[in-house]
Copies of this chain bind each other. A is one copy, B any other.
Amino acid sequence: MEQQNEHIVRSYEEELSLLNNKIAKMGGLAEKVLGQSFEALDRRDPDLAATTINEDEEIDQLQRDIEEQAVVMIARRQPMAYDLRQIMAALRISTDLERIGDLGKNIAKRAVAVVTEQQPKQLMLGLKHMGELSLNQLKEVLDAFIERDAERALSVWYKDEEIDAMYNSLFRELLTYMMEDPRNIGLCTHLLFGAKNIERVGDHATNIAETVYYLVHGRPITDQRPKGDTTSSTAYTSLRSSNF
């Protein structure tokens, strides 16, 4: 956390653009790790999963870089208002991207675990769609950040409901599938956690959307979007009425 020894005197704009480039790079890596983890799960490819798990380290290193640069900039420049929000936005987005990298790593680990088994097509398709939507949300919100486009961020923010709805539906399907045949329980548990990981990716994309909105407007998104993951309060008794 020591200040780094900078021999080149840069303008504030140059420093800021350096910081934003690091976020763009980190975002690209998070997209890559996430996309590969879905592909490893879909194609049952343990080698791709292993590569993906290793690539997360680079994301963590970038987060430390960004934090260090942000602190140095705050100390040197004592920025206010929009200038300060730019730096804080970079800091917050890097935290969300680091978590997204972790979630991708976790999905890749589960891909290794379920690699040898016949997987139910319908469920895997549901998971795949959920993954694609979350990846798309991530790309959209990173573009919104780069373009300082609050409206685009807002539409990402609203769209997270779709991921939540898919998660809730997949959650119920997975439980039903387990109940139909106990031999599915191990696989479905991995897929449940995988689906939960993807749902969390959506939450982090939503966080980034809030950060972009705040960066641009200097005030938080005030609308209260209804929380979408209702499975934590799903009374499982209602599931017993299924036909088995």
Contact = CB atoms under 8 A, between A and B. Distances in A.
B76 A78 contact: yes
Contacts of A178: 178, 182, 185
Interface residues of A, number: 48
A185 B116 contact: no
B196 A113 contact: no
Nearest to A81: B2
Given A182-B179, A232-B109, A240-B186, A79 B75 contact: yes
B192 A237 contact: no
Contacts of A187: 236
Contact of A186 (B78, B81, B236): B236
Interface in A132-188: 175, 178-180, 182-183, 185-187
A195 to B, nearest CB: 11
Interface of A: 1-3, 67, 71, 74-76, 78-81, 84-85, 88, 95, 106, 109-110, 112-114, 116-117, 175, 178-180, 182-183, 185-187, 189-190, 192-193, 196, 214, 232-237, 239-240, 244
